[in-house]
Amino acid sequence: MRLLGSIPPRDDIQVIVVDDNSESSIANADFFRKIESQGIVVIRLEKCRGAGHARNLGLQHAKGTWVLFADCDDYFITIPFSTLLATPKPNNCEVLVWNAEFISDKETHQYQTDLAPFVCHTDTDSLYLNHLPVWTKMIRQDIIEKTPIRFEETMHANDVMFAAILSQEITCYHTTATSIYVYDTTSSHLTKSRALKSILTRTNAELRALCYLKKKGKFIWHGPYWLGELCRKNYHIYLFFILRCLIHLGVQHTKYMYTFSCRSVGVSPTPYKTFIKRKGRWINK
C-alpha cells in the first residue's frame, strides 16, 4: 500500500496493478477488492513469471498519453511527483527522465547526481548509457505502440533490452533534476540475488543488448555494477562472459569492457590480459 498511497489522487491517472501470484500474507482477496473499489485496474496471475511479463501485461491495458513503471518495493515522492505531472511538457518530449533516491541497508543517496534542470538531450544513446532503469522514466505511449519495445520476460534484467531499443527509437529525451522516486533495496530485493541462475540471466540480457546495438553500428557500455562484482567474486563466470563477448563483439570492445569492470572494483586487469590475448587470436583466425 505504500506505493499506491504515494501516487497523487488525480482523475487523469490510470493505475494498473499486476500481481504475479503474491503470497496471501502480502496481498489477499480483501486487499484487491479494496483497491479495485478505488478504480485501480487489477490483473492477477496464477503463476509468477517475473516483472517483465507483468510490465508487458500492464502495457496491454494502458490507456494514457504517458506510461511509467514502479516496483512494489518502491514508492513515489508524492509532492514533487504531483508537481511534475502538472507541469506542461514540450511538444517534442518523448521520454522524461527524473532523479531518484536510492535506499540501501547502509545509506541513502541520489541515484543520479549529474542531472540538470529541465533540459532536452538529442544524444539518445546517452539514455541507455546513463539512465537505464525503467523506473526513472516517463515514456510517451505512442512511442511504445509504434515500436517493438517490450520487456524481456526474465526474472532479472528484464529492462536492459527495453532501454537499449528505446534509446534507438526516439529522437530526443528530457531530464529533470527533481527526485520523484525512491528505489528501496533494504528488503529482500531481486537485485541482491547472487545465485548462479540470476548471474547468468543478467549476463545474457547484457550480451543481447550489446549485440542489438552492434547491429545498429554502436557500442554503448554502461558498466553495470554487478559485472565488476562478478569480476571480483566469480571470476570463472566473468571469464565465460568475456569469452562470449569476444565471439559476438570482437576484441576491441571486449578489452575495454573487461578493463573497465576490473578497475571499477579495484581488481588489476593483468591476470585477464593473457586470456583476452589468447582467445582474441583464436577468434581472429
User: Which among 173, 190, 207 is the end of a domain?
Assistant: 190
- According to DSSP, the residues that pair with 140 across neighbouring strands are 66
146 touches 171 (CB < 8 A): no
Q: Are strands 75-76 and 41-45 parallel, antiparallel or unpaired?
A: unpaired
Is the same domain home to 142 and 180? yes
The verdict on 182 and 52 lying in the same domain is yes
What residues make up the domain containing 49?
Answer: 2-190
How many degrees, rounded to 5, is the angle at CA 225 between CA 224 and CA 228? Answer: 100
In a shared domain, residues 170 and 230 = no
Cα–Cα distances in angstroms (integers) from residue 109 to residues 73, 102, 219, in the given order: 17, 5, 29
pLDDT of residue 49: 84
Domain end, chosen from 136, 160, 190, is at 190
Buried b (16+ CB within 10 A) or exposed e, 264-281: beebeeeebeeebeebee
pLDDT tens per residue, the chain (285 residues)? Answer: 789 999 988 889 999 999 887 776 666 778 778 888 888 999 988 888 888 999 999 999 999 899 999 998 899 999 889 988 888 888 899 999 998 888 876 666 666 655 666 789 999 999 998 888 899 999 999 999 988 899 999 888 899 999 999 999 999 999 988 889 998 877 555 555 567 788 888 889 999 999 999 999 998 887 776 776 777 777 777 777 877 888 888 878 887 887 777 777 676 665 555 555 555 554 443
Q: What is the pLDDT of residue 21?
A: 77
Q: Are residues 165 and 60 in the same domain?
A: yes
**Total domains, the chain:** 2
Same domain, 170 and 197: no
Statement to judge: residues 170 and 200 lie in one domain: no
Q: Do 114 and 10 lie in a common domain?
A: yes
Residues 74, 38, single domain; the answer is yes
Residues present in the chain in total: 285
Same-domain status, 177 and 240:
no
Full-model pTM = 0.84
Parallel, antiparallel or unpaired: strands 173-184 and 75-76: antiparallel
Residues 139 and 196 placed together within one structural domain of the fold? no
* pLDDT at residue 44, rounded to an integer: 87
pLDDT at 69: 95
Residues whose CB is less than 8 angstroms from the CB of residue 189 and which lie 6 or more positions away in sequence, other chains included: 73
CATH number of residue 175's parent domain: 3.90.550.10
Tell me what pLDDT residue 258 has: 75
Residues 169, 102, single domain; the answer is: yes
Query: Considering 161, 190, 219, which residue would you say is the last residue of a domain?
Result: 190
Give the pLDDT of residue 285.
38
131 and 264 assigned to the same domain? no
Question: Looking up cell 515514456, which residue turns up?
Answer: 139
CB 232 within 8 A of CB 224: no
- Contact, 237 vs 252, CB < 8 A? no
